[in-house]
Structure 1
Amino acid sequence: MTEGFTVRHPTLDDVPAILAVVEASDIATVGEPDFTADEVREVLTAPGHDPSKDSWIAARPDGGVIAWGFIESTTGDHALIDVYAHPDGGRPAQAPLLRLALARMAERVRESGLAEITVRTGAIASEEHWIGLLKASGFAFVKRYARMSRPLSGLERFPDLPDGIALRPVRPGDESDLRTVHTVLRAAFADIPDAIRSGFEEFKATVEALPGVSWDEWFVAEADGRAVGALQSADQGAQDGEGWVKHLGVLREHRGKGIGRLMLLTAFATYAAKGRSRAGLGVDLTNPTSAYRLYESVGLYPVYEADVYERKLAAGFSPT
């Protein structure tokens, strides 16, 4: 036991307790919950994530969970980690959970044969304790993301398409269609610092591991019969009445023609037809494709901003 709590690896039975911690943390930092039970399960069951090695919870003597630390994903030489702490008594657990996550990442680096890996995590500016721990652990600020949202009135309509442009939903169970989405998104994000690095098989495995996929909310844009854009939605906010745009990409040579806007308006109309009350997405504020201006033009506005911190982690790293 450390400072009144014990640390153990979670199971799926812990999802409700973990969600309670994350929701309390979100409410304290951004004013509202921004995570769902399905997202907790998605982390714990994601390909390449072993909860018995890659996830930890801190619990009081009475069993109440007060913090959750985890390795969210690892793609090539980049990885994401996070530690959520309940604002009522969870902060003392953040430091030991961060050390466990970094030690496990170093172990993964050694297992993969890489010399080092870039580890990233996020923080809201008001999380001074967490940011202090990150800086003390060698992390430095990199950039800022915005979480954007807009209301849906139910009156949203599908846009008229110009000649030569077609939009269609992704066909369920069609691997060639899924491959098209991956190919377009990977190419569209190639000139962005946080490019989609995963290969198709990894992308496919991640999708197949999701609790659910609303294929009629995924879209492919075609120009004269060629796929030039893709929009991938996520079900993460469906239970709360939110449609979520996970990825939106248009090939470089077809940007500036309104294709991204058409896909967004199509997604919004689809969400609204299902009774969703709002739509949302996240955007990198350093994105060189003017994505933020596009999102503002379709009615999205920033709800909050989150900072990204990173550090290099070598195979020989040992937490102090």
Structure 2
Amino acid sequence: MALRAVPVTWPEGIVARPITPGDVQAWADLLAARELVDQGGENYEAADLLEELADPHLDTEQATIGLWSGEQMVGYAKLHPRTSVVDVDRVDAEGTVHPEWRRRGVGAALMRWTIRGAGEQHAATFPDYPGEVRASAKSTHDGTIAMLRGLGFEEARYFYDMKRELDEPVRALETPDGLRLAPFDPTIDEALRVAHNEAFRDHWAALPRDPESWKTHVTGSRSFRPEVSYVVLDGDTVAAYALGYEWAADTEATGVREVYVGQVGTRREYRGRGLARAALAKVLAEGARAGYQRASLGVDADNPTGALGLYESLGFSVHSKWITFRRAL
């Protein structure tokens, strides 16, 4: 569909403009209102959102939009920046509408803006590759799913949000001779980034992390917790790793302190030796000792390394299911 065939008309009373740092509290309020109704398991402080806007690759003028009714942000959308492409230029999008403003055409208008913006971003960055825009929905959110399908999106992939209570002990696992399990240290950060890119090179839609985005979203994030992050080392080589994160807003909203295992991987030449299992078991054990009550993570249902089985064997169970939708640009 040509870009000119995706018109955007905002409902009466709505003012649309790019999101600025001064908007982050209103943005956080919008997301809190969404969570009360949708129960997606995501809570944010204003500082978390300010960090998102500070991404050096994000063009906030072109890739973000906030919808306002007076002083209240009633909807938003954001396109995620990419710095490389492998096979398909996949433009990931996120957004929501305040529950009190739903069923007024706001969500459909936001998605039309998203489709148009993703097409423009694709044309400006990687036009020689096929392009698509992607959006995710919880499997129980029938209204969002129907809207996406109505706008030409199709199901592409399924993901599970998994959780494990930490009141049951986690058995420590030995690493093979010649390898050692060690806590995260900033001196290995670049080696860890390289290991991560290698570990995920054969995963669906995975892109290599450049140093800036790695710092912004992985080990430089305010949610990163090095004290519950572990690596398996072969000399100076990072063979496997499991990295822990914590969102203070989640703890405040739920009353449960949860460590989110945001990154787990094993370099391909080290697979089949239980290294990721050992690193993850260590994160769980240290998390329990540090006072975390629960652990969580996300997994691709079709992960080629059998990650789902690994997590289940360590006591994780599926908490919710999510669907990634795609639409060709």
Residues 53-87 of structure 1: per-residue CA shift (max 9 Å, x gap): 221122224x2222121113424222210121222
TM-score (norm 2): 0.83
Equivalent residues of 2:43, 2:249 under 8 A apart: no
* Cα distance change on mapping 1:201 and 1:215 into 2, 3 Å: same
* Cα distance change on mapping 1:144 and 1:297 into 2, 3 Å: same
* Cα distance change on mapping 1:266 and 1:209 into 2, 3 Å: closer
TM-superposed deviation, 1:18: 2.0
AA partner of residue 64 (structure 1) = Q
AA partner of residue 79 (structure 2) = I
Identical columns (%): 25
Residues 238-279 of structure 1: per-residue CA shift (max 9 Å, x gap): 861111111111122322222111111111122223211111
| Separation in 1, partners of 2:131, 2:303 | 22
| Separation in 1, partners of 2:248, 2:313 | 22
* Cα distance change on mapping 1:303 and 1:20 into 2, 3 Å: farther
Matched, 1:168 2:182: yes
Q: Which residue of 1 aligns with 2:164?
A: 150
| Separation in 1, partners of 2:259, 2:248 | 6
Q: Which residue of 2 aligns with 1:257?
A: 273
Matched, 1:236 2:240: no
Matched, 1:53 2:62: yes
Compare 92-101 and 230-239 and name the one that shifted more.
Answer: 230-239
* Cα distance change on mapping 1:140 and 1:267 into 2, 3 Å: same
Q: Which residue of 2 aligns with 1:307?
A: 323
Q: Which residue of 2 aligns with 1:317?
A: none
| Separation in 1, partners of 2:48, 2:80 | 11
Instruction: Identify which of 88, 108, 116 aligns with 1:95.
Output: 108
TM-superposed deviation, 1:161: 4.0
Q: Which residue of 1 aligns with 2:229?
A: 218
Q: In structure 2, the residue corresponding to 1:88 is in which secondary structure?
A: helix
TM-superposed deviation, 1:297: 0.9
Q: In structure 2, the residue corresponding to 1:214 is in which secondary structure?
A: strand
AA partner of residue 322 (structure 2) = A
Residues 4-51 of structure 1: per-residue CA shift (max 9 Å, x gap): 32222222333233223323333433x364232254333322221133
Q: Which residue of 2 aligns with 1:80?
A: 92
Matched, 1:41 2:57: no
Q: In structure 2, the residue corresponding to 1:216 is in which secondary structure?
A: strand
| Separation in 2, partners of 1:209, 1:251 | 22
Over aligned residue pairs, what C-alpha RMSD do you find?
Answer: 2.6
1:24-35 superposed matches below 5 A: 24-29=33-38, 31=39, 33-35=41-43
TM-score (norm 1): 0.85
Aligned length: 308
Instruction: Identify which of 114, 130, 140 aligns with 2:154.
Output: 140
Residues 186-226 of structure 1: per-residue CA shift (max 9 Å, x gap): 11112211323333454245447633533233322124664
AA partner of residue 6 (structure 1) = V
Equivalent residues of 1:154, 1:272 under 8 A apart: no
Equivalent residues of 1:148, 1:300 under 8 A apart: yes
List gaps (5 residues or longer) in structure 1.
314-320
